[in-house]
Amino acid sequence: MRTFDYTTLQNRQWDSEILGLVAQIHEYKGRQEMYLRQKPAVLDKLVEIAKVQSTEASNKIEGIVTTSTRIQQLCAEKTTPRNRDEEEIMGYRDVLNTIHENYEYIPIRSSYILQLHRDLYKYSARDIGGRFKSTQNVIAETRPDGSQFVRFTPLDPFETPAAIDAICDSFCKVIDSCVIDPLVLIPVFINDFLCIHPFNDGNGRMSRLLTTLLLYRCGYVVGRYISLESKIEKTKATYYDVLDSCGKGWHEGENDPTPFIKYLLSIILAAYREFESRVNLVDDRLPAVEMVRNAISEKIGKFTKSEIMELVPSVGKASVENSLKKLTEEGFILRHGSGKATFYTRNDQ
């Protein structure tokens, strides 16, 4: 079985792109504390939006879907699941809430990872939660003609428990020693987790939940306010490409994790940029219509009422609707379509 020793990462020479991404994220992290103190009410609403988006996007990556209305109801705990997809969506919601509320008290150990996986499936009729895989689970791809080929063969089931113990032990040792920046170490850990592929099902979703947990524990809490999973879902093809690249030579310990490090850092940086943009849009000294106007000025192409509501979470639904009506009447924006198909564009495009 391959060995895991993250202390060797301190001997690596990282290129200027990685170093630049790390430096920029450190700057944003430093400013985040200021925003957390200045606008707590706005941030509370961003948290609720991000939870829904994260739950929807992370499951959507795996083909687990339901309607937007049902997602909202499930995340608000105002309904019960109707099918297997909704059962798994509710499980993700609960694990994400656990991480949000308790990340400081969740050690990086295999026993806790098993418990989180157990809760991911607690609404499911499938009795697979909280146990490592019992059979080999190759990562395969279906060709256009319907045939399949194996893209990657993870560790065998008998090797899995020891491997998860090893990556957890090595991660904790290196984090405590402070010899490697967490922003480099976290993607390496997640890449190894996915190559081990420790569960019969739920590996992708668990990897994204663990990414959130590890970032929070290291002080990078932007995922509370801006959904990292949503940004991954929108770049899903790149996500799978870099994971495929980082799997080559993995069993021999010769793989290069650089592409996944760069990918994940770019996702985190984009989230920090969006966080500052959203918070800066909200100015309680301005009338609602001016906050909506400022939000629209940031949009390119068409946009919907829901998108504007996400940008200005401190403005209520009725106020957003009234503002859009007023801005349409004054010619600042154009309304297109009707009913649920309604969208808007800026009139200067």
pLDDT value of residue 34 = 84
Q: Is residue 142 part of a domain?
A: yes
My answer on whether 145 and 208 are in the same domain is yes
Cα(293)–Cα(93) distance, integer angstroms: 33
Question: Of 241, 257, 281, which closes a domain?
Answer: 281
| Mean of pLDDT values over 17-29 | 97
What is the number of domains present in the chain?
2
- Predicted confidence band of residue 15 (pLDDT cuts 50, 70, 90): very high
Give Cβ neighbours of residue 159 (< 8 Å, ≥ 6 apart): 1
My answer on whether 215 and 318 are in the same domain is no
- CA distances to 303, 315, 325 from 294, rounded to whole Å, are 14, 13, 15
pTM of this prediction? 0.90
Q: Is residue 7 part of a domain?
A: no
| Mean of pLDDT values over 277-294 | 85
Q: For 344, left (φ over 0), alpha (ψ -120 to 50), or beta?
A: beta
Task: Check pLDDT > 90 for residue 333.
Answer: yes
My answer on whether 222 and 341 are in the same domain is no
My answer on whether 293 and 276 are in the same domain is no
* Partner residues linked to 336 by β-bridges: 343
Q: Is residue 251 part of a domain?
A: yes
Instruction: Give the tens place of pLDDT for each residue, 300-331.
Output: 999 999 999 988 887 889 999 999 999 999 99
Q: Is residue 5 part of a domain?
A: no
**Diameter over CA atoms, the chain:** 68
Q: Is residue 90 part of a domain?
A: yes
pLDDT value of residue 316 = 86
Buried b (16+ CB within 10 A) or exposed e, 263-286: bbbbbbbbbbebbeebbebbeeee
Cα(300)–Cα(321) distance, integer angstroms: 20
My answer on whether 239 and 296 are in the same domain is no
Question: Of 264, 281, 298, which closes a domain?
Answer: 281
- Find the helix or strand (DSSP H, E) in which 343 lies: strand 343-346
> Residue 337's domain is classified under what CATH number?
1.10.10.10
- Predicted confidence band of residue 140 (pLDDT cuts 50, 70, 90): confident
- Predicted confidence band of residue 32 (pLDDT cuts 50, 70, 90): confident
3-state secondary structure of 335: strand
* Residue 94: domain span: 15-281
- Predicted confidence band of residue 281 (pLDDT cuts 50, 70, 90): confident
Q: Is residue 2 part of a domain?
A: no
3-state secondary structure of 246: helix
My answer on whether 202 and 125 are in the same domain is yes
* Partner residues linked to 345 by β-bridges: 334
- Predicted confidence band of residue 349 (pLDDT cuts 50, 70, 90): low
Q: Is residue 241 part of a domain?
A: yes
Q: Is residue 293 part of a domain?
A: yes
3-state secondary structure of 344: strand
My answer on whether 323 and 185 are in the same domain is no
My answer on whether 305 and 180 are in the same domain is no
* Partner residues linked to 148 by β-bridges: 142
3-state secondary structure of 140: strand
My answer on whether 242 and 272 are in the same domain is yes
Most confident of 25-39, 127-141, 279-293: 127-141
Give Cβ neighbours of residue 329 (< 8 Å, ≥ 6 apart): none
3-state secondary structure of 298: coil
3-state secondary structure of 328: helix
My answer on whether 99 and 204 are in the same domain is yes
- Predicted confidence band of residue 141 (pLDDT cuts 50, 70, 90): confident
Only one residue has tokens 């959203």, namely 278
pLDDT value of residue 44 = 84
Q: Is 162:1 a contact under the CB 8 Å cutoff?
A: yes
Q: Can you list the alpha helix ranges (DSSP code H) found in the chain?
A: 16-38, 40-61, 68-75, 84-102, 110-120, 160-177, 182-196, 203-217, 228-234, 236-247, 258-281, 288-297, 305-311, 317-329
> Residue 173's domain is classified under what CATH number?
1.10.3290.10
My answer on whether 87 and 195 are in the same domain is yes
Instruction: Give the tens place of pLDDT for each residue, 181-212.
Output: 999 999 999 999 999 999 999 999 999 999 99
My answer on whether 214 and 333 are in the same domain is no
